[in-house]
Amino acid sequence: MLTTLRRIVLEFSQEAELQVALERIVTSVKKAMATDCCSIYLADYHHQHFLLMASDGLAKGSQGQTCIGFSEGLVGLVGQREEPLNISDAQKHQDFIHAPEVEEDEFNAFLGAPIIHQRKVIGILSVQQKKSRHFTENDEAFLVTLTTQLANALANAEIKRLLNQQEEINQGVKQLHGIAGAPGIALSEIVVCQPQADLAAISLKKSDDTKNQLFRYEQAVEKTRQEFNVLSSKLSETINDDSLAIFDVYKQLLEQASLGQEVSAKIAEGWRADSALKLVIEHYISQFEALEDSYFRERASDIRDLGTRLLVNLQHQSKEDLKLPPKFILLAQDVTASMVAQYQHQGLLGIISLSGSNNSHAAIIARSLGLPAVMGVNAIVLSQLHHKQAIIDGYSGQLFINPNETLKQEYEYLLNQEEELTNKVMEVAHLPCITQDGRAIEVLLNAGLSAGFEHSAKLGALGIGLYRTEIPFMTRNCFPSEQEQTQIYRKVLQAFPNHGVTMRTLDVGGDKSLPYFPITEENPFLGWRGIRITLDHPEIFLVQVRAMLRANQGINNLEIMLPMISSVEEVDDALRLINQAFFELKAELTTDIAAELMSSNSKTKLTLEQAQQKAEAISATLTRPKVGIMLEVPSVIFQMEALAKRVDFFSVGSNDLTQYLLAVDRNNSQVANLYDSFHPAVLTALHSLAKQSAQYLTPISLCGELASEPAGAILLLAMGFDKISMNGHNVPRIKWVIRHISFEQAQSILEKTLTLSTTKEVHSYLNTQLEALGLGGFIRAGF
């Protein structure tokens, strides 16, 4: 029986046409169960009925025509009860409805099972028999097992069927769904951008002329580097933030010390240049795509973009310019940062990417440019959408093809509202983030070398609340040196000379393994990661801390933050290493400076005593920074007093704290809907952390998605958080919200929110309160 089940499911999933697959499955099930009839119905939630899609036994003319309401008949009853229904004489059942067109008068026994995908009934599979009888337990078990296995395949197949209907796209409005990549609305014509080269199509071949192959590759590298320089220069005319650093990363990867060295090594082994490029790029892509963390998984797109551009130049392909209308929306299988840079001066209003997420560099740059973006819109035939009119909603992730006049008018009205709101919030960008009754809260940036460092004078952030240091480690083929790290960190610290910059020490492991330091674990989120790795490898930790301290010399705005702390012992061990690095570096600097001042090459040669005094004065500019910890593991909730005695500040990582408290992997689509930072348990935990921090006189901040939502910011303000940290584009909006509410109102909202029992109640109440405060325009954005 198991073999039969597997065969039926495999045949279904391998069939390209959904209707053919459905017809095949009813025939296969009818034969396997030795029944007289098998039928499959699919749910239509728009019309609130089940539609008979395929049957082996019912009238052929009824397929695609017969509809049964969600609350009608035995099929509707199966859907309502969400469990199998086994009836010996169906026509005598009180819920049976007679439908002459299906010609089922001869059938009596009925067994139906719901097809459920992510808690939603998407169809009904039923079998019928002429003889009145109860189907056996084995029959019922077979049908239930089959529907369970079919659910995911059927859900995906139904989505493809709906999205690929050329007739619907040509004749009427089509609504598609993706991931909200960058906020905003755009109404315009779609322009499809197809890749100019395909690494996957390259056949692996070798060549005896290694010298010529290496020369071809070096020429392609130089041409690609020049292209990235041009793109970066053009983009910098519009934005001035570190989202541009992706082009620096591209150029670093091209250098001989990184990706370029690996390609050269493959060429030296005898591979053709294009084959060597394919081997190296695909190896990098597979490593990044295997990571659990969605942000780092998106880096595979950047590597693919780099490889494609190198291949284009390696093959000397001419870059044909797209024929662009004055205004357009760019659509591609994988919209990349370089595509956005290439077209942003040519009338680009928004982007649609069939792959990727809000962590992709295309989405990051789109947010910096104020371009709406919808990512991850699957199962679209690109050629069908070229030159189609569309609306993209970067707030909800919705995409409308061929919108009618009514829909256009609705979105034009929303677009006007959005422009007015944007103008309003930018008016307060440089004003203090303070409530109407004088309560202040600092708004900071979440940042990383090539993602999220979206600082601009226009945004009004006071500093960096979370600087991710992982990227320099991810984009190399070995651990970066102390000097390399120092240069990177100093650039960031200099961007905010008068405000604090909180740098998180290396947070990799398990789900974010390095190409040269692979880690394989069954459960990476509960495994060897964060501070656990760096304490086990003090040589890595000490080099990074020394680089941070060197970078901070003379600026003195550094704060060091330790990730994934779960015990007091980890803090003690980390502080010991930080102190060791500080005193060793201070002594080293004093010695080096004194020796230099006393050397014969020095312009003002000093005595030993004079040199020593001056060296000590210079080395005094090396100061020990404040050290804090991230509160993201639930165990810290119960160790706050002991931790407060050891550190200078706390910072809540609300994303991971939510994940651990709710036991939900937010990257797992099966349970992602359970992940919600407004869950009552999460809010209660945050309130407890804030109260304990105040009790122990330790500053506390929060960096996570909750801080960038208006309702979340209001709750955090009321709880007593001193700082909140978020992506740059949300800073002025959150400032506007805080400046248009009193602390007393925020406390009242918090008090009521903490009495609510469900996430749904929390969202409903908070939305009502935002409306009452005149902040309803921010609800739709879902910041």
Q: Catalytic residue positions?
A: 361, 703
Asked if residues 712 and 683 have their Cβ atoms less than 8 Å apart, the reply is no
DSSP annotation of 328: E
Q: Residue 41: helix, strand or coil by DSSP?
A: strand
- Virtual CA dihedral for 378, 381, 387, 388, nearest 10 degrees? -60
Distance CA 685, CA 195 (A): 48
Task: Render the burial of 712-739: b for 16+ CB within 10 Å, e for the rest.
Answer: bbbbbbbbbbbbbbbbbbbbbbbbbbbb
DSSP annotation of 517: B
Asked if residues 582 and 553 have their Cβ atoms less than 8 Å apart, the reply is no
Query: Which residues have CB under 8 Å from 197's CB, separation 6+?
Result: 308, 311, 312, 315, 317
Q: Is the dihedral of CA 462, 465, 469, 474 positive or negative?
A: negative
Locate the DSSP E strands across 10-84: 37-44, 49-56, 67-69
- Virtual CA dihedral for 181, 631, 717, 678, nearest 10 degrees? 60
Q: Residue 509: helix, strand or coil by DSSP?
A: strand
What tokens does 207 get?
């060549």
Q: Residue 113: helix, strand or coil by DSSP?
A: strand
Q: Judging by beta carbons within 10 Å of its beta carbon (0-12, 13-18, 19+), is residue 710 exposed, middle or buried?
A: buried
Sheet with strand 179-182: strands edge to edge: 174-177, 398-401, 389-393, 185-192, 328-332, 348-353, 373-375, 179-182
Among residues 596, 587, 595, which one has the least CA distance to residue 616? 587
Distance CA 228, CA 247 (A): 6
Among residues 405, 422, 401, which one has the least CA distance to residue 178? 401
Distance CA 581, CA 538 (A): 10
Query: Which residues have CB under 8 Å from 211's CB, separation 6+?
Result: none
